[in-house]
Structure 1
Amino acid sequence: MPFDRDTAARRRRAVMDAIGPDAAAVFPAAPVALRSNDVEYRYRQDNDFYYLTGFLEPEAVCVLLPGQPQSEEFVLFVQPRDPDRETWTGLRAGVEGATERYGADIAYTVDKLDEKILAYVGERERLYCQMGRHSAFTQRLLSWLQQWQTQRPRSGRGPTTVIDPSEILHEMRLFKDPAELAAMRRAIAIAAEAHTAAMRAVRPGVHEYEIEALLDYTFRHQGGWGPAYPSIVASGSNATILHYVTNDRMMQAGDLLLIDAGAEFDGYCADITRTYPVETDFTDRQREIYELVLRAQLRAIEAIRPGIRFEEVHHAALGVLVDGLVGLGLLCGSPTEIIEKELYKPLYMHRTSHWLGLDVHDVGKYKINGESRVLEPGMVLTVEPGIYVGHQARDADPRWAGIGVRIEDDVLVTESGHEVLSAAIPKTIEDVTAARA
């Protein structure tokens, strides 16, 4: 999907309108991360920087200057063009590309940052920056602040207040614009292809890593950037480990397989979980747990609409799970007391939902003034209840031991209710069985 300059410009304008004409905002690109010795990890841009610029190179800095004369409100510092380095690591945009392709009002090579930032930001009263986000850049920020503080008694120049822009920017990122939703729909469609391919490939004797490899292949083959997070391919009792990523066990007859995997497309994440038997059929106990989790998930999804609180989605799922676990004999006592005392936690220890976007656990507050926030159109959240009869469930009937089930979908809050963005991926027992035939 091509970079949309107009969308990025609208986002920057919203930030500048929020911080006001007496302020400046500074956002650095993510640093390059070393994997080992002189080998680098594949570069991943800082999500806030990417959201505002669409720029994918390291060693870059975005400076926003509301109301700056000569229409220099968006200043981008970038690596210079360098034929020798570009031979090794690829072409760079350079200052020309920063203005022509990415819409910077003016661009400089990054070696001019210290000189220019002191002049640009020295005229402002407030500086918005994310202290501590990237350690080397934080040291640079502290150096600038020290220089402004030293010069202020004589010149009267330099910001007197430093403010974290995350609250402004992350509230914006919580509400997905059309470009973001298009990228998320594509990420989810790619993930759907991968999950469906995995369903057809699973059988006894296959290793978890073989399915992980199939997922990774499909993500890239379909045009994605790769996995949005390390894929969880958990068979047997491994499915009771929430973030199991070792993925090295050979699947056996009688196992359930839990796959929690999502593609990344244009920086945006899918996050989807499906659970099904390694063989064709569920055992009776596996089926009972699976159908209970599915009922809980459907109840939670049904609750999603503008005006309800985020926490209500969790409670909708939790009520169904606790009632069902009592009915199966895995919990004993009053459902109300079990929920109040959190006695369900050995079997269900996580929340039902989180925000989804550029980060798989995306930014945005869950509470406003101490209360669970109200859902609004444009928010995207996961719905992922589960039951895990693992080592932590020491008091559970051993006949249920080793069963782990989670079902997860990605849901958009709409004006009239909700849309399950990942609805194409089979999840009823009948649909999963048909997809694997």
Structure 2
Amino acid sequence: MALHFERSELAQRRAATIAKLEKAGLDGLLMFRQESMFYLTGYDTFGYVFFQCLYLGSDGRVALITRAPDLRQARHTSDIEDIRIWVDGPDVNPALQLRDMLAEFGAAGKKLGVEYDAYGLTAANGKKLDTALAGFCTLADASRLVSELRVIKSPAELAYIRRAGELADDAWDAALTQVHAGAFEGDILAAMQGAVFAGGGDYPGNEFIIGAGQDALLCRYFSGRKHLAETDQITLEWAGAYRRYHAAMMRTVPIGTTSPRHIEMHKVACEAMAACRDALKPGEPIGNVFDAYARICDKNGMKSHRLNACGYSMGTTFAPNWMDWPMFYHDNPVIAEPGMVFFLHMILMDSDSGCAMCPGHSVIVTDQGNEALSRHSLDLVTR
């Protein structure tokens, strides 16, 4: 069995979830987020692209309904004992089988929470779920219930996060061996992801982001690779991933001649990072972190070049992205606590000059402030 945590820790997490269920007046939780399933049971799969639900009752009962390919997957990666299989067919509605399972558990007439905000619950399946359970029980949106527990990492989780940070640094070191005039972007990506794999890491929750020239001003992956010019720039955003835990980082590297605009933008971005880290402290709302980023950028004439958010939580996340809850934006009231992990990205994109500058790294909130996960500084690297 491939459990990455002690059974006692998984049991403690389920007990904490049950306590939140009871406080919310819920008799059980229907989970469609793969992150929640992994967190509470160890279950690791991409089978959530089909209808799949993990049930946790306030009485401690745990049951999974999924497809046949995930029967052995669940047995191998989780401590779930009750696994139900729904059979593929042209007119099959697995939500009805879920209702039958819930009836067996005595859930009729009860109030159940649902993770509606989940990649594992498409709009079509959500409609099937609501229709199947209409009149059977009462449903309430409980999308954040487990996420609010996951945001504070245990010592065992932090060990995986730290390893992810080391792998992210290894990927950066590998990138720098490949970044130069004439380099092929595909070779850079291969070196970075290869370093993560060689270190025992995983695929990340989304693709590594890479862009040269004008594409350096983009912050999404897109298909199509090219070679770097003699004078160029390249933006990289990547994450080390270990046991599904992520630590993301970001850099822009000028190639050939480094323009004064790059130097100016780098100076502002680093000042913003320092201000954000000063603002990220336990007991303070995380919206303060974004305000620090905006304040530094705006006073230096870069309001039109910044974004409206400057980072987000890091944790165990599954495709299609590694972004976790919560995010740094204005007035976000979530209070920072020790054990939270965040990616801070100081993105500046100047479409007028065509220059980008995007330093970023992940940090752990501590009792006094925060600790950077990277062994590298944010000094401007050029090639």
Name the TM tier (shorter chain): 0.7 to 0.9
Which residue is 2:29 aligned to? 25
For the pair 1:388 / 2:368, whether they are aligned, the reply is: no
Provide TM-score, normalisation by structure 1.
0.73
Deviation at 1:54, TM superposition (A): 1.2
Alignment-derived partner of residue 350 in structure 1: 308
- Please name the residue that 2:297 is paired with: 321
Structure 2 residue matching 1:55: 3-state secondary structure: coil
Using the TM superposition, give the Cα deviation of residue 27 of structure 1 relative to its aligned residue in structure 2, in angstroms.
Answer: 2.1
- Percent identical pairs in the alignment equals 22
Report deviation, 1:113. 5.0
Summarize the alignment of residues 17-416 of structure 1 with structure 2, pairs less than 5 Å apart.
17-20=19-22, 23-28=27-32, 46-57=34-45, 58=47, 61-67=53-59, 73-77=61-65, 92=72, 97=75, 102-104=78-80, 106-111=81-86, 113=98, 115-123=100-108, 125-131=110-116, 133=118, 134-135=121-122, 137-146=125-134, 149=135, 158-159=136-137, 161-246=138-223, 248-279=225-256, 282-325=258-301, 344-345=303-304, 347-359=305-317, 360-364=322-326, 372-390=333-351, 393=352, 401-416=353-368
CA distance in 1, matches of 2:112, 2:346: 42
AA at the equivalent of 2:30? V
1:417 and 2:375 aligned: no
Distance 2:249 2:142 in 1: 31
**Residues 163, 211 of structure 1: CA spacing in aligned structure 2 closer, same or farther, 3 A cutoff?**
same
What is aligned with 1:152? none
1:266 to 1:62, Cα distance in 2 relative to 1, 3 A: same
Q: Pick closer, same or farther for the CA change 1:124–1:377 going to 2, 3 Å.
A: farther
> Are the counterparts in 1 of residues 26 and 113 from structure 2 also a CA contact under 8 Å?
no
Q: Tell me the distance in 1 between the aligned counterparts of 2:175 and 2:150.
A: 32
Q: How big is each residue's C-alpha offset from its partner over 1:128-158, in whole Å with a ceiling of 9 and x where there is no partner? A: 2234742364355335414xx2xxxxxxxx5
Computing the radius of gyration from Cα coordinates, the structure with the larger value is 1
Q: For 2:140 and 2:329, how far apart are their aligned partners in 1?
A: 21
Mapped contact 1:228–1:263 kept (Cα < 8 A)? no
Per the alignment, residue 153 of structure 1 pairs with none
Are 1:208 and 1:233, in contact at CA under 8 Å, matched by a contact in 2?
yes
Measured after TM superposition, the shift of residue 78 of structure 1 is 5.5
1:37 aligns with none
Counterpart code for 2:148: E
Tell me which amino acid in the other structure corresponds to 1:142: D
Is the contact between residue 174 and residue 363 of structure 1 (CA under 8 Å) also seen in structure 2? yes
Query: Please, what TM-score do these two structures have when normalized by structure 2?
Result: 0.82
Residues 304-335 of structure 1, C-alpha deviation per residue, up to 9 Å, x if partnerless?
Answer: 2112321221222222223333xxxxx6xxxx
8 Å contact from structure 1 (residues 3, 54) kept in 2: yes
Distance 1:236 1:413, change over 3 A: same
Unaligned runs of 5+ in 2: 87-96
Give the Cα separation in 2 of the matches to 1:371 and 1:56. 31
Instruction: Report the Cα offset of residue 125 of structure 1.
Output: 1.9
Stretch deviating more after TM superposition (406-415 or 56-65): 56-65
- Give me the whole-angstrom Cα distance separating, in 2, the residues matched to 1:374 and 1:139: 34
- Between the aligned partners of 1:22 and 1:189, the Cα distance in structure 2 is 40
Report how far residue 253 of structure 1 moved: 2.2
Gaps of 5+ in 1: 30-45, 81-88, 150-157, 326-330, 332-343, 394-400
Q: Is the 8 A contact 2:287 2:332 kept in 1?
A: no
Q: Deviations over 1:258-281 (max 9, x none)?
A: 1111132222222210122224x6
Show the counterpart of 1:14.
16
Aligned counterparts of 2:205 and 2:4: Cα–Cα separation in 1:
19
Structure 2 counterpart of 1:427, one-letter code: L
Higher helix share: 1
Aligned-pair CA distance for 1:232: 1.6
Q: Are 1:205 and 1:250, in contact at CA under 8 Å, matched by a contact in 2?
A: yes
Whole-angstrom distance in 2 between the partners of 1:47 and 1:90: 16
**How many residues are paired up?**
358
Q: 1:90, CA displacement in angstroms?
A: 9.6
Change (3 A) 1:366 1:211: closer
- CA-atom RMSD in angstroms: 3.0
2:290–2:328: 8 Å Cα contact kept in structure 1? no
SS of the equivalent of 1:194 reads helix
